[in-house]
Chain A
Amino acid sequence: MSDVILSVKNLSVEFATEDGVVHAVDNVSYEVKRGQTLAIVGESGSGKSVSSLAVMGLVRSNNATVTGEVHFGGQELVGLDPEEVRKLRGLKMAMIFQDPLSALHPFYTIGEQLIEAVQVHEKVSDGDARARVKTMLDRVGIASAEQRMDEYPHQLSGGMRQRVMIAMALINSPELLIADEPTTALDVTVQAQILELLRDLQKEFGTAIVLITHDLGVVADMADDVMVMYGGQAVEQAPVRELFYQPQMPYTWGLLASIPQMHTSSLKLDPIPGTPPSLINLPVGCVFAPRCTHKDLVAGGLCLTTRPDLGAVSDTHASRCHLNEAQRIEIRRSRNIGKVD
């Protein structure tokens, strides 16, 4: 068995709309290893959610085009019969969403929904399925699980609903879990509980996790590898420590400099000027160039005319930027970003 459970190559997703073609995801490639966590970071409209929905085979509207390759456990998912993908979903790969209230069905009890998740993939008697559900609910920390199974989603708190979602996602021990902003709707003390739970379950089941988030604190906490997305593209990919301590791309610098830090009372934030690009009308050159404060350092206005490739910085680290290495070190030193020796 290979170590890589999910391998995405040149994935693109486009939506044809009345206003033009939306390039939601543009040529994104990444790999996720068994038992590891890849965090996909980006702001709203960066394509981070759509790219994961495409992996799960959930981008199915008539106006959408998905191209590229998605190898999952040795199987190619792009172009596969939707019925076949459906059999994998919930069994081999599962997903949890930001808002557990709208992801759970309001008319069915927690128990009914979880039992269905078992029985849809496996011929199990009602009694056995119920026992399995109870074990799983206990495992995710739901007190008096037996009683909770007969309750409806609205009777649970936000944190409990997210635990139910996690139980449902993991009940068939999938090899891959995609978690789309799983803690964004939760309070910090509850977020801490849920992240702890995900970490424990990952250790126990060896699940690979793709964690989609905008919170760099959560990334620092959970990720092994990180992919930063902007304007539908992967602009930087690196192991987590390299991304935080040797970031190479001006957008990543901007993100790191924009967040107020929890461990110091910094004086001034260093925000990214401007607003994100429209995915219909992407800039010709670097997608980040219109907001980049360093583009004048590159000769000939290259940033505005030519899109930089996702170039290798090291074996494990890639970034999209025309600046040369000396310039990047100089800028990071002057803006005090990451660690510069």
Chain B
Amino acid sequence: MSAPLTIPRWADVVLVPLVSVASAFLVAGLVVLFIGEDPLSVTRILLQGSLGSGEGLGFTLFYATNFIFTGLAVAVAFHAGLFNIGGEGQATLGGLGIALALLNLGFLPGFLLIPVGILAAAAFGAAWAFVPGYLQARRGSHIVITTIMFNWLATVLMVYLLGNVLRETGSMSLETRAFPEASHVPALHEFLGLFGVAIPTSQLNLTLLVALAACVAVWLLIYRSRLGFAIRTVGANPTAAAYAGISATRVTVIAMSVSGALAGGLAVNELMGYQHRLLLDFTAGYGFIGIAVALMGRAHPVGIVFASILFGMLYQGGAELAFEKPAITRDMIVVIGGVLILFAGALDGLFRRLVAGALTRRPRAVEA
């Protein structure tokens, strides 16, 4: 039972995630049936809404950008054997960093504002992850609990700041005034419009390119750098890492900081690419779905891109679905996320055994 499973690599990387995704959708289909809707027509609306039009596709990729950032954030921590559930809080702080920088540094030359905003998001996100990382490495506090507490602290802090300090004067809603025009990350339809290419209008903006660059950077960091090797060694076997002279403290703190900086990317996409102001709860659960994305994508950037597109489709298709079928809300996506985390994460062993069993069992006809 506890003998190591030998399944081919392609099965481990492709088949096992596919089986768990398929099973998760089966469960989601059952939920849809339970509330009295037809799973097939729901699937059709989902696909039509997310991929069926240029506009839909744009929104799908906009949401996918969010998931790439939060998925990468969880994945980098995973490689170091750390479970960072603090993506929500780190992205929230990233948003705060953006707001503080852009609202106070408006005097800078316009072309500097976007890089400054991105750096501020990364720095604030990293700082909010650094503290739990440091506390785990040096004081032995459990990173899961600390990051959960830091999520709530971030929420409370944001309510205070938006309510009392940063709120636009005279505004009733909890949001800041708009960021300077020059800091808006261009939407893709505007950008391509400059070159005479017309694509449908959507929230999709050039942050997508930043997200893809982050994927490459994470791949280089984890699989092609000395630090990445140290991170993976600590994650796989802390004792061996210690023998090899790798400082677990250093790796933990660095991996968490990188993870938090990546989570800050969510704030770049949402706030600099779309909302153009800081508002409450803009993280909207993307940080938690990032856990599902990382688990599904096997913590590899390529897998994460695929998983992010899938969740982007679910988000965009879910919005369309809510229009056409009032009985189904976007909360359905949270259900699918939860089932996926359960299947691809906690029940991973079960699915691997199932796949291994199916692969080693020879067809009866051959045996006879």
Q: Are A and B physically bound partners?
A: no
User: Which positions in A face B, CB cutoff 8 Å?
Assistant: none
